[in-house]
Amino acid sequence: MQSVVRPESMARITTPELANAFIEDQVAKVRAQVGDKKVLLALSGGVDSSVVAALLIKAIGKQLVCVHVNHGLMRKGESEQVIEVFGKELDANLIYIDATDRYLELLKGVSDPETKRKIIGNEFIKIFDEEAKKLEGIEFLAQGTIYPDIIESKGVKAHHNVGGLPEDMKMDLVEPVALLFKDEVRVVSEALGLPHAMVYRQPFPGPGLGVRCLGAITRDRLEALREADAILREEFDKCGLAEKVWQYFIAIPDIKSVGVRNDVRYEGWPAIIRAVNTTDAMTATIEEIPYPVLHHITDRITHEVEGINRVLLDLTPKPIGTIEWE
């Protein structure tokens, strides 16, 4: 990460015109820095790495090699969107790695949250390193570092460093959005033509659904979580809550209770809804979801998702509850 200081004179990028000027400037800078060499980028599909990918594709086209590692803990449709947007629409040089089986095998039986995090983070580094070694002539590493990552040394990304890269990867860095705040990244992303859903994606932790599939992860509970989460997001989109709520998701604990379905006893997991508002993720308040919306979500999840027989609502602010359950 560069230790750069944002110049006092740098105006906030708030309009498409300012974004275009920034893009033109960065395209020229990247071309000057990189020349005819190749650049490697870990593309998660989050807005920061996506904006870097789009910018570099514009600047150097196929000299950029994007690696997307699907750890199997992505939300529904996320890896598919990366392939669609970058692989197809932007015609990027994209390496897609489906590491789902590898991750689930490593995580089998592991219930301690910190150990789970370590496994997920270390494996990412290993896979990325393996891929980098297969490639020839890579001289630069691009990163979606943004300004808050640099100034907030105790920030979310700094202490949750899953997705960090191999320390011994000795390559020069290309960090074209290192001076931007998040709102500016979004304006620039839209000017680059990235889809709205990608640009305004709610924060999603590096270890993904791994921190929401509580205890030891199993394929069936992970699948139930992914489907229930997709329903929650779909319903929040429909009723306008998606635009309003900072972060919302489902967590599924490793417990079962008794229920009935089609007149027979049906043991299932509870899906816990968490929807919070915050500005800095250090404290958070609870969004008051209207009851009709909650009833509808409950109805859909319990009828459409295999393995879930109850829906619960988490009313705990932070503190004392953290945002994630882990």
Contacting residues toward ligand XMP, per CB under 6 A: 156-157, 160, 162, 203, 205-207, 247, 281, 318, 322-324
The answer for 298, left when phi > 0, alpha when psi is -120 to 50, beta otherwise, is alpha
Nearest to 71 by CA among 106, 113, 39: 106
Cα distance between residue 26 and residue 66, in whole Å: 19
Closer to ligand XMP by Cβ: residue 163 or 268: 163
CB of 124 to ligand XMP, least distance (A): 11
Token pair of 40 as six digits: 């490697």
Closer to ligand XMP by Cβ: residue 9 or 279: 279
CB of 156 to ligand XMP, least distance (A): 4
Closer to ligand XMP by Cβ: residue 146 or 162: 162
CB of 233 to ligand XMP, least distance (A): 15
Closer to ligand XMP by Cβ: residue 138 or 156: 156
Closer to ligand XMP by Cβ: residue 157 or 226: 157
Q: Is 212 exposed, middle or buried (0-12, 13-18, 19+ CB in 10 A)?
A: buried
CB of 158 to ligand XMP, least distance (A): 9
**318 neighbors 283 (Cβ within 8 angstroms):** yes
CB of 159 to ligand XMP, least distance (A): 8
CB of 26 to ligand XMP, least distance (A): 24
Closer to ligand XMP by Cβ: residue 112 or 299: 112
Beta bridge partners of 310: 270
Closer to ligand XMP by Cβ: residue 140 or 248: 248
Nearest to 250 by CA among 160, 324, 156: 324
Closer to ligand XMP by Cβ: residue 140 or 236: 236
CA 194 to each of CA 50, 52, 233, 304: distance values in angstroms, whole numbers, following the listed order: 8, 11, 20, 31
Alpha helices in the chain (DSSP H): 16-34, 47-60, 78-82, 100-107, 113-134, 147-151, 156-159, 182-191, 196-199, 219-238, 241-244, 291-304
CB of 285 to ligand XMP, least distance (A): 13
Token pair of 134 as six digits: 């297969």
CB of 323 to ligand XMP, least distance (A): 3
Nearest to 233 by CA among 265, 257, 204: 204
Q: How many helices and strands in the chain, by DSSP H and E?
A: 12, 10
